[in-house]
Amino acid sequence: MSKRQLKKYLQDLDKEQLEEQIVDLYERFKPVKVFYDFVFNPREEELMRKSKLKISKEYFPETRRKPKARRSVAQKEIKHFKQLGVEPHLTADLMLFNIEIAQTFAEEKSNLKEAFCKSIFKSFEEAVKFILKEGILAEFKLRILKIAAEAESQNWPNAYRFEKIEMQFQDAP
């Protein structure tokens, strides 16, 4: 069904039928429930706290288990933020937090895998694009520059790529 067909179908329903359909969707599908729960009670700070904790546990587990350092965990949290329509500043903050915690983890490691560095650079690239798209560079410029400098100071094999992006923002306000 196309969006156009859906709109036509919804226009043919009366208010009561529409309400019934939405309640049915709410009860049947967890993503719909999560969306409406967020819309009516955002609690963005709590959501942010839980997401940061989940990401940090990937690199610094509270138990004795070995850190997994999976980028996918952070990407899933970031995607969730975007789907819910969380305020862009908070989404950007989470994106940069993910990179910063990964760099803190990498600082303690002597043998960094190239795949790890490549993956974190991809996250960095996505964060910068998101920040530029949302027009919030002024608030995050220093963190972007710091991340690039950290990649260089840790001698990452792809530090030049971080530096290339960093150079674009040297003269930006």
User: In the chain, where does DSSP find H-type helix?
Assistant: 3-12, 15-28, 30-40, 44-59, 71-84, 88-107, 114-134, 137-153, 159-169
Same domain membership, residue 80 and residue 122 = yes
Same domain membership, residue 51 and residue 120 = yes
Check pLDDT > 70 for residue 111. yes
Same domain membership, residue 51 and residue 26 = no
Structural domain harbouring 7: 1-41
Domains identified in the chain, total number: 2
pLDDT category of residue 170 using cuts at 50, 70 and 90: low
Structure-model confidence comparison of residues 149 and 41, the more confident one: 149
State pTM to two decimals: 0.84
Same domain membership, residue 21 and residue 76 = no
